[in-house]
Structures are given as structure tokens and as C-alpha cells.
């Protein structure tokens, strides 16, 4: 069990630190992944940014997700659940548009009007506070893969073993500190697991640089990460 997200981030950072990543970039899944990723970025002296993912709810059941999307999509769906519920992707088109609009709004808020990172050529480590079904992580990893990173890893303090294994097809590595067989839920593995606010997300992001370090490589096919000064 982890005391809180800070401790989880410290333990995760020690694992990530041992990886050989020449051009690393840490990205977080807001909101809960940001405090964890911030500890990783701070310990390793790396730039930090976000990948915003929104869950697509079942019509009439806003708390139950049947898919996920980034700001630009395309969305990913749990097709088995779609079939069981007699739904099609077209039935959820309006919901997808609404969630993508909200994702774009959050991106603007979190980045405070600055451009996002250039992922191409970087060794990307995507961080969240835990992995349950893996739907949100899959949507984020799929979107990142299309941006041609040099390598792509998912790093979490705790995760369901089934989700850890299932995501191996959309990234190069899944780093998971603890994968208990009796997983249950992410919150069960933290002594303190409060909701993270937008204000806290911004506070964490402001403590970490969003531009690559001054010793970032130049002149080869792995470009410097762009972002605010």
C-alpha cells in the first residue's frame, strides 16, 4: 500500500530512473496521475506535460464508461460491451463530441495557452496513479503512438494484472510497481486518495519545466520538446 500519490511517485521514480532513456519526456494523465508524474519528473529532472483523456459514458448512466477519447480522438470503445448493450459507435457520436470538447477545454486550462510537447523522437513515459480497466491509458497510448515517439512506456504505481498484460500491445513497456492479484480498485492501495482538483494540477505543472533540459540533443532526428519557457 502507498501512503499517498507523492509516495507512489517516489517509488515509481526509482524504477523509471533505472531505465535507459536517452531523450525522456514524462506525460501525465490528469487529474490523479499528475502528482505521481510530478514526483517522477522532479526526481529525474525531466520536463512534464499532460495527455487529457475523457471517458465516454453509457447513455443514461454517466458514471459507467464504455469508451475513452483524447481531445482529438479517434475514440476507443469496449466493443464487447457495445454488443451486449445493443449500441453502436454512431449512437455515442454526440457523447464523443461533448467529451472531446471538454478534453480540449482542459488542455487549454492545464497548458495555460502554451503549446504542447513535441513527442516525435522522444522516449515517452506516460504516468497515471493506477491502472484498473486500462481504457483511458489505451486511448492515451494510442494517440501518442501516432506521434512517432522513439519509445513509449506506461508507468503506474499499482495496476490490475489483467490490464497490465492487456496494454502491452499498445506500448513498448508497462512499468508497474505493484500488480496484486486481488486488485479490486486503485483507491484500495492508497491510505490517502483524495480527489485532485484543477488548481492542484496547475500547481504541480508549474513546479516542473515543460521544455526539455538544456542538454537536450540537437541536430538529429529526435527534436527538442517544445513548450513554454
Is 119 contained in some domain? yes
What pLDDT, on the 0 to 100 scale, is given for residue 211? 58
Q: Is the confidence at residue 47, as pLDDT, over 60?
A: yes
Average pLDDT over residues 122-142: 96
Is 65 contained in some domain? no
Is 57 contained in some domain? no
Q: What is the distance between the alpha carbons of residues 27 and 137, in angstroms, rounded to a whole number?
A: 12
Q: Is the confidence at residue 17, as pLDDT, over 60?
A: yes
What pLDDT, on the 0 to 100 scale, is given for residue 217? 41
Q: How many domains does the chain have?
A: 1
Is 186 contained in some domain? yes
Is 161 contained in some domain? yes
Average pLDDT over residues 99-117: 93
What pLDDT, on the 0 to 100 scale, is given for residue 135? 93
Average pLDDT over residues 94-108: 95
Q: Are 40 and 9 in contact (CB under 8 A)?
A: yes
Is 45 contained in some domain? yes
Domain harbouring 138, CATH code = 3.40.50.2020
DSSP class of 3: S
Please provide the average confidence, as pLDDT, over all residues in the chain.
Answer: 89
Ranges of beta strands (E only) in the chain are 24-28, 48-50, 53-58, 61-70, 76-77, 123-127, 151-158, 173-178
pLDDT band at 80; cut points 50, 70, 90: very high
Is 56 contained in some domain? no
Alpha helices for 179-218 (secondary structure H): 198-207
Is 190 contained in some domain? yes
Residue range of the domain that includes 189? 5-51+114-207
Amino acid at each position: 500500500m502507498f501512503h499517498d500519490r507523492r509516495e507512489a511517485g517516489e517509488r515509481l521514480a526509482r524504477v523509471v530512473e533505472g531505465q535507459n532513456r536517452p531523450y525522456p519526456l514524462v506525460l501525465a494523465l490528469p487529474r490523479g496521475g499528475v502528482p505521481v508524474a510530478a514526483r517522477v519528473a522532479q526526481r529525474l529532472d525531466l520536463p512534464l506535460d499532460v495527455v487529457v483523456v475523457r471517458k465516454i459514458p453509457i447513455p443514461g448512466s454517466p458514471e459507467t464508461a464504455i469508451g475513452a477519447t483524447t481531445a482529438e480522438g479517434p475514440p476507443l470503445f469496449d466493443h464487447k460491451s457495445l454488443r451486449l448493450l445493443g449500441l453502436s459507435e454512431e449512437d455515442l457520436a454526440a457523447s464523443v463530441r461533448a467529451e472531446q470538447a471538454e478534453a480540449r477545454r482542459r488542455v487549454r486550462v492545464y497548458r495555460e495557452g502554451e503549446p504542447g510537447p513535441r513527442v516525435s523522437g522522444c522516449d515517452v513515459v506516460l504516468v497515471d496513479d493506477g491502472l484498473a480497466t486500462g481504457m483511458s491509458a489505451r486511448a492515451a497510448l494510442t494517440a501518442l503512438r501516432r506521434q512517432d515517439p522513439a519509445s513509449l512506456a506506461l508507468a503506474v504505481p499499482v495496476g490490475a494484472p489483467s490490464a497490465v498484460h492487456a496494454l502491452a500491445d499498445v506500448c513498448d513497456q508497462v512499468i508497474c510497481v505493484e500488480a496484486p492479484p486481488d486488485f479490486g480498485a486503485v483507491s484500495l492501495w492508497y491510505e490517502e486518495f483524495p480527489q485532485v482538483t484543477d488548481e492542484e494540477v496547475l500547481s504541480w505543472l508549474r513546479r516542473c519545466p515543460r521544455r526539455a533540459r538544456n542538454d537536450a540533443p540537437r541536430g538529429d532526428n529526435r527534436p527538442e520538446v517544445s513548450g513554454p519557457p
